[in-house]
Amino acid sequence: MTTNTATPTSTPTSTPTSTVHTILRADGFSCPSCVAKIEKQIGRLTGVSAVTVFFATARIEIDHDPAVVGTDALIAAVGKAGYTARLAAF
């Protein structure tokens, strides 16, 4: 006699996160390899879902959860990569 016992599965409940799109302007990078360094540093931060650095315009676009990582931490991550950044005016 074989008895099949099903293991109940549960789906973890989580509160939905709100993602914002932040744009920074960077100074001090002069080569395309700098882009990878900045993307790597910002991408390591918990709460960051996407980061794109535009070399020609020195623009950094970041999708992140502001409850987990704020703009100060994003700017600090750029600084850790060796560059300066500030919030974009537009």
Report domain extents, the chain: 20-87
CATH number 3.40.50.720 given to 20-87: no
Q: Judge whether 52 and 60 are in contact, CB under 8 Å.
A: yes
pTM summary value: 0.78
Q: Say if residue 2's pLDDT is above 50.
A: no
- The two tokens of residue 63 are 């999708």
pLDDT in tens, 12-64: 344 556 999 999 999 888 888 889 999 999 999 999 999 999 999 999 999 99
